Amino acid sequence: METPAYVAGVGRALEPKRFTNVPEPAFASHDHDRLDNRLRLYGLKEKKVRGDGNCQFRALADQLFRDQERHAECRAAVISQLRREREHYAVFVDQDYLSYVGEMSRDATWGDHITLQAASDAYGVGMCVISSYKDNFVIEITPRTKRGERVLWISFWAEVHYNSVYHIDANV
């Protein structure tokens, strides 16, 4: 399964990349502990979404609509954005672009940083991703055209799972 890799510093927009490394279980567990600690430090908590290959889109649907079951709607908006603005995203895809878009359109295909950027652009919202990466763990995604001040918050247990994120006192 292919998942995203981020390549820039804290608080900066990133260049989307893809790779296929999935961590060993012991490393992944340590990684999640690091993510939990960071979320607590920032006064945040995860709202778990189902881990069925649609977790990125479920986390986005939860943030946008408070309903992770609307994940297919989010995926469709992302696919439409990828098709509409091919020239903007194709430079980040290291395979045939139409094959990539076809793959991403299938239910249970893991999203990547390219789909996060396309979602940000499609909905005109900023995103903040708190990840379990050792360094550069706060990832800001800015839409090409902003349509308000709303920011979506999601967590990324690196190479494993996305969840929706809320303030620790939120009733979710």
Contact 97, 86 (CB under 8 A): yes
Three-class SS state of 170: coil
Active-site residue 52, yes or no? Answer: yes
Give CA–CA dist 5/20, Å, rounded.
9
pTM (2 d.p.): 0.84
**The domain spanning residue 86 has which CATH number?**
3.90.70.80
Does residue 123 belong to any structural domain of this protein?
yes
Q: How many domains does the chain have?
A: 1
pLDDT for 6 equals 33
Out of 52, 94, 96, 107, which one is annotated catalytic? 52
- Cα 36 vs. chain centroid, distance in angstroms? 17
Structural domain of 52:
3-167
* Residue (of 58, 57, 63) closest to 81 by Cα position: 57
Please indicate, yes or no, if residue 172 is contained in any of the structural domains.
no
pLDDT in tens, 22-55: 556 555 678 899 999 999 999 999 999 999 999 9
Is-catalytic flag, 88? no
